[in-house]
Amino acid sequence: MVSNSNSSSEYNRKKNKEEMKQQLITFTLMIVFTLIAFSMVIFEFDKLYVIPVLLILAVVQVIFQLYYFMHMKNKDHEMPAFMFYGGLTVATITILTLSVITWW
Amino acid sequence: MSDHTLNPEKMPHNPEKATLEGKNKFLAFWFFLGGETVLFASLFGTYLALKGSTNGGPAAEEIFELELVFVMTMLLLTSSLTSVYAMYHMKNNNFGKMQLWLGVTVLLGIGFLSFEIYEFTNYITNEDFTFRTSAFGSAFYTLVGFHGGHVTFGLLWIITLMIRNAKRGLNLYNAPKFYIASLYWHFIDVVWVFIFTVVYLMGKVG
């Protein structure tokens, strides 16, 4: 029994370490994305494609944050994902509405 | 519940979701984050709509300093990683190291907040850019200030948890509390990613 529980905690430790490794890779990528975003603006690249690339970088970085740092990739996160995407849907509609009434 | 229920001899793999209370907190907190997303979306929408209304005051591309924003971004992003470390040690049932990394997170958060206060003071005293200067000013201070308020609240939350539980050690009663505070801290960084992109970088591009 004792050895059994030890091996399971060993297994969990290994699993935690594995997850930590993924999170470190995520962090490195997020730093790289931030550097790209800032340098594109500092070196004054063409506005026409800087803005869409900036937005894409931000979205990817947030996806990393949500799925890896906040564990949304894990199995027991169906309801949290539902809650969050519910909020995100209303958020999108809100920004869309405010943009349309301003610039249409 | 008996003391043994909350302080088991062997901690479960996910101490933050081992009790019903922990599960409820976890779910309700994600529901709250969905609501927070809507709150910040309306502030972002307002900012985008009023961004050009400078009323003769300074415009976005004139006042923003990217060096400062870059340092702030790095501080907050790193603090997100240190709170990941804290949760890693929580799952390995290492209370001391969890407290240590939460402490580092708090220090980085305080650094971020100090730079933000410096930034606002600089705008108000040297650039003549206040909440009342223009619609752009109102929208800017509301959006960025709201985020700063979240940082302040998050810092107080984590510090309170650290002090309140310092002598208790980790158990199934406080593990969900620590976990949820760290989720909140990550969410603050999520919002900041959009602030530095939409407000500062896109403001500089024009």
Q: Is residue B190, in this structure, part of any structural domain at all?
A: yes
Chain B touched by A54 (CB under 8 Å) = yes
Dist CA B119 CA B61 (whole Å): 15
- The domain tally of chain A equals 2
B1 domain residue, yes or no:
no
Mutate to test the interface with B, among A29, A63, A65 (most CBs of B within 10 A): A65
Query: Tens digits of per-residue pLDDT, B155-183?
Result: 999 999 999 999 999 999 999 999 999 99
Averaged pLDDT of chain B: 95
A28 lies within 8 A of chain B by CB: no
Residue B91 pLDDT greater than 50, yes or no: yes
Interface test with B, best of A34, A45, A92, A97 (most B CBs within 10 A): A34
Which residue range is the domain that position A83 belongs to? 75-104
**Does residue A2 carry a pLDDT above 60?**
no
What's CA B149's distance to the chain center, in Å?
Answer: 9
* B48 and A CB contact within 8 Å: yes
Inter-chain CB proximity B205 and A41 less than 8 Å: yes
B5 in any annotated domain: no
> Distances from the Cα of B43 to the Cαs of A88, B39, B120, B138, B151, in angstroms?
14, 7, 18, 11, 16
Residue B41 lies in a domain: yes
Instruction: Assess if residue B108 is contained within a domain.
Output: yes
Under an 8 A CB cutoff, do B91 and A16 touch?
yes
Do A51 and A65 reside in the same domain of the chain?
yes
Mean pLDDT of B91-104: 96
Q: Are residues A64 and A85 in the same domain?
A: no
B2, pLDDT greater than 60: no
The answer to whether residues A38 and A81 belong to one domain is no
> Which residue in A29, A94, A25, A84 sits closest to B30, CA to CA?
A84
Does A63 share its domain with A103? no
CA dist A12 and B173 (Å) reads 21
A5 touches chain B (CB under 8 A): yes
* Structural domains of chain B, count: 1
Same domain for A43 and A13, yes or no, is yes
Cross-chain residue pair A83–B183, CB shorter than 8 Å: no
B10 to A5: CB separation less than 8 angstroms, yes or no: yes
pLDDT digits (tens, 9 = 90+) for A17-54: 999 999 999 999 999 999 999 999 999 999 899 999 99
Q: Are residues A15 and A53 in the same domain?
A: yes
Contact flag B201-A16 (C-beta cutoff 8 Å)? no
Q: What is the pLDDT of residue B181?
A: 97
Tell me: ipTM over 0.85: yes
> Does residue B132 surpass a pLDDT of 60?
yes
Least confident of A73-77, B25-29, B122-126, B185-189: A73-77
**Percentage of chain B modeled with pLDDT above 70:** 99
pLDDT score of A1: 39
Quote the domain boundaries for residue B154.
18-205
Residue A47 pLDDT: 87
CATH code for position B29: 1.20.120.80
For B190, how many CA atoms within 13 A lie in the half-sphere containing its CB? Answer: 24
Q: Assess whether A43 and A80 both reside in one domain.
A: no
Tell me what pLDDT residue B11 has.
84
Contact by Cβ (8 Å): B151, B181: no
Of the pLDDT bands very low, low, confident and very high (cuts 50, 70, 90), residue B197 is very high
pLDDT of residue A103: 86
Residues of chain B contacting A88 with CB distance shorter than 8 Å = 34, 37
| Residue B11 maps to a domain | no
**CB of B117 less than 8 A from some CB of A:** no
